[in-house]
Structure 1
Amino acid sequence: MKVFKFGGASVKDAEGVKNVSLVLESEGFENCVLVVSAMGKTTNALEKAVQNYFDKIDYQTEIEKVKQNHLEISKGLFQEHHPVFSEISLFFDDIESFLRRNKSPNYNFVYDQVVSCGEMISSKILSEYLNDIQFKNHWLDARDYIKTDSNYREGNINWEETQRKISELDCDSCFVTQGFIGSEANNFTVTLGREGSDYSAAIFAYCLNAEAMTIWKDVPGVMTGDPRKFENVNLLSNISYEEAIEMAYYGASVIHPKTLQPLKQKNIPFYVKSFLEPKKPGTKVGSSEQTENQETYILKENQNLMRISTRDFAFIAEEHLSQIFALLAKHKITISLMQTSAISFVLCVEDKYDHIDDLNQELQINFNSEVVKNVSLFTVRNAKLEDLNKFYENKNILLEQISKKTIQVVTN
Structure 2
Amino acid sequence: MRVFKFGGASVKDANGVKNVVNVLKTVGYENTLVVISAMGKTTNAMEVVVKNYFENKNALQQSIQEIVSYHGEILNDLFDNKNHDIYARVQLLFEEIQGFLAWNKSPKYSFVYDQVVGYGELISTTIVSAYLNEIGITNDWLDVRKYIKTNDNYRDGIVDWETTQHNIATGVNQKNLNITQGFLGSDENNFTTTLGREGSDYTAAIFAYCLNADSVTIWKDVPGVLNADPRYFENAQLLNEISYKEAIELAFYGASVIHPKTLQPLQRKEIPLHVKSFINPKDSGTIVCKGKGIQPNVPCFIVKKNQVLIKLSSLDFSFIVEENISEIFKLFSKNRIKADLIQNSAISFSVCVENKYNTLNDLLNVLKSKFKVTHHEDVSLYTVRHFNDEAISFLKNSKEILLEQRTEETLQLVAK
Same fold, judged at TM 0.5 (above): yes
Output the CA distance in 1 between the equivalents of 2:232 and 2:376: 23
In 2, distance between residues paired with 1:329 and 1:127?
Answer: 40
Cα deviation, residue 135, structure 1: 1.4
Contact kept in structure 2, 1:67 and 1:88, CA below 8 Å: no
Structure 2 distance, partners of 1:166, 1:116, is: 20
Of 150, 155, 158 in structure 2, the residue corresponding to residue 156 of structure 1 is 158
Q: Contact 1:60 / 1:96 at 8 angstroms: preserved in 2?
A: no
1:57-68 mapped onto 2 (5 Å cutoff): 57=57, 58-68=59-69
TM-score of the aligned structures, taking structure 2 as reference length: 0.97
CA distance, structure 2, for counterparts of residue 197 and residue 275 of structure 1: 16
Say which is worse superposed, 116-125 or 294-303, in terms of deviation: 294-303
* 1:263 alignment counterpart: 266
Q: Which residues in structure 2 correspond to 1:281-320 (within 5 Å)?
A: 281-289=284-292, 291-292=294-295, 293-320=297-324
Aligned residue type for 1:40: G
Q: Which residue of 2 aligns with 1:166?
A: 168
What amino acid is the match of 2:30?
E
The alpha-carbon deviation at position 366 of structure 1 amounts to 1.6
What is residue 253 of structure 1 aligned with on the other side? 256
Residue 356 (structure 1) aligns with: 360
What residue number does 2:50 align with?
A: 50
2:94 partner amino acid: F
1:400 and 1:97 mapped to 2: Cα distance? 51
Amino acid at match of 1:63: I
Q: Which residue of 2 aligns with 1:135?
A: 137
How far apart are the structure 1 equivalents of 2:400 and 2:56?
41
Q: Which residue does 2:279 correspond to in 1? A: 276
The Cα of 1:228 is off from its aligned counterpart by 1.6
Q: Is this contact kept in 1: 2:37–2:181, CA < 8 A?
A: yes
Residue segments in structure 2 that go unaligned for 5+ positions in a row? none
The 8 Å contact of residues 182 and 191 in structure 1, kept in 2 or not, is answered as yes
How far is the alpha carbon of 1:386 from its aligned partner? 6.8
- 1:289 is displaced (CA, Å) by 4.4
Summarize the alignment of residues 233-252 of structure 1 with structure 2, pairs less than 5 Å apart: 233-252=236-255
Superimposed CA distance per residue, residues 198-227 of structure 1 (whole angstroms, 9 cap, x where no aligned partner) = 001110011000000000000000011111
Q: Which residue of 2 aligns with 1:232?
A: 235
How far did residue 387 of structure 1 move?
5.8
Distance across 2 between alignment mates of 1:387 and 1:288: 25
Change (3 A) 1:392 1:52: same
> Alpha-carbon deviation of 1:391?
2.7
Residues 158-210 of structure 1 deviation map (CA, whole Å, 9 limit, x = unaligned): 00000010001221112100000000000000000011110011100110000
Show the 5 A alignment for 1:360-399: 360-385=364-389, 388-399=392-403
Partner of 2:182: 179
How many pairs are equivalent?
412
Q: CA deviation at 1:92?
A: 0.7
Matched to 1:77, the amino acid is: L
Structure 1: distance between partners of 2:180 and 2:366: 42
Aligned equivalent of 1:110, options 99, 102, 112 = 112
Deviations 1:253-296 (A, max 9, x none): 11111000000000000000000110100000000247323211
How far 1:332 moved relative to its partner? 1.1
Gaps of 5+ in 1: none
**Counterpart residue identity of residue 32, structure 1:** T
- Partner residue in 1 for 2:9: 9
Q: By how many angstroms is 1:370 displaced? A: 2.4
Q: Distance in 1 between matches of 2:257 and 2:135?
A: 30
CA distance in 1, matches of 2:321, 2:291: 42
Asked if the contact 1:360/1:370 (under 8 Å) is kept, the reply is: no
Instruction: Provide the secondary structure at the position in 1 that maps to 2:78.
Output: coil
> How far 1:73 sits from its partner (Å)?
0.3
SS of aligned partner of 2:196: coil
For 1:221 and 1:387, locate their aligned partners in 2 and report how far apart those are by CA, in whole Å: 22
SS of equivalent residue, structure 2 residue 238: coil
Instruction: State the partner residue of 2:328.
Output: 324
- Cα separation, 2, equivalents of 1:248 and 1:206: 19
TM-superposed deviation, 1:132? 1.1
- 2:29 corresponds to which letter in structure 1? F
Preserved CA contact (<8 Å) 2:240 2:286: yes
CA deviations on 1:218-257 (whole Å, 9 max, x unpaired) are: 0000011111211111100001011111111111111111
Deviates more, 1:22-31 or 1:357-366: 357-366
Shift, 1:388, TM fit = 3.5
User: Does residue 100 of structure 1 match 2:102?
Assistant: yes
Q: CA deviation at 1:365?
A: 2.3
Letter matched to residue 335 of structure 2: H
8 Å Cα contact 1:384-1:405 kept in structure 2: no
Q: Is the 8 A contact 2:299 2:391 kept in 1?
A: no
Q: Which residue is 2:405 aligned to?
A: 401
C-alpha separation in 2, matches of 1:384 and 1:331: 37
Q: Cα offset for 1:368?
A: 1.9
Aligned residue type for 2:14: A
| CA deviation vs aligned residue, 1:50-77 (integer Å, no higher than 9, x gap) | 1011014221110111011111101111
Deviates more, 1:236-245 or 1:53-62: 53-62
Runs of 4+ in 1 over 2 A off after TM superposition: 288-291, 385-391
SS in 2 for 1:59: helix
Tell me if structure 1 keeps the 8 A contact 2:310–2:352.
Answer: yes
**Aligned-pair Cα RMSD in Å:** 1.1
